[in-house]
Amino acid sequence: MGEVGWSGAVAVVCCHVVLAAALAAAAVADLARRVIPNGCVAAVLGSGVARALLGAAVGGRLDPLGDAALGAAVVLGVMLATAWASARLGGEAGVGGGDVKLLSALGAWAGPVGGLVIVALSCALGVVGWASRRALEVFLVRGRTSGNGICLAPAIALAALVVLGVGGALSA
């Protein structure tokens, strides 16, 4: 224990490749159909748990698994509370179920603090993207818009790659 061999390194890289591919597929699906496929969520969660298992096996401690579980649970709780509050105040959930599930799955990758940073950055990026799209529609299409909702998966993907990339570089 404590040493990562080639097979462990390859397994970690495979987890990251699955994460990136699932986030890209989720972003494309959300833009095209306003849906985040459950398969993308499952791939993100599965690869996050696999990475945590690898970390536990290498380190000989269960901390990575606990962080993954806590991260997913904290993000899920925050997102469900947000959807509930939005529904009570505005009559709509304000966030889609796919967004909630995808962000929760990313909590398994980032832990509780990193997961909440991904949530915050995703929201900020989503609003910037929505405002940019609306401004272009107003100026180029003379006020006709394609809808008021925000496709959040592209913002989630970008936020996750930034947070996990920066976090990974800082902890290396």
Contacts of 119 (CB under 8 A, 6+ apart): 75, 78, 79, 103
Measured N-to-C along each axis, helices 38-59 and 6-33 cross at an angle, to the nearest 10 degrees, of 160
Tell me the pLDDT tens digit for each residue of 110-165: 999 999 999 999 999 999 988 888 888 777 776 566 666 788 999 999 999 999 98
Closest CA to 161 of 38, 44, 11, 28: 44
What integer pLDDT is reported at residue 93 of this predicted model? 74
Contacts of 68 (CB under 8 A, 6+ apart): 48, 49, 51, 52, 107, 108, 109, 111
Tell me the pLDDT tens digit for each residue of 36-50: 999 999 999 999 999
Helices (H), 34-96: 38-59, 63-90
Domain ranges of the chain: 6-171
pTM of the model: 0.87
What percentage of the chain exceeds 90 in pLDDT?
Answer: 61
In the three-class reduction of DSSP (H, G, I as helix; E, B as strand; rest coil), residue 146 is classed as: coil
State the amino acid at position 20 in one-letter form.
A
Residue 1 has pLDDT above 50, yes or no: no
Report DSSP state, residue 61: S
d(CA 134, CA 140): 10
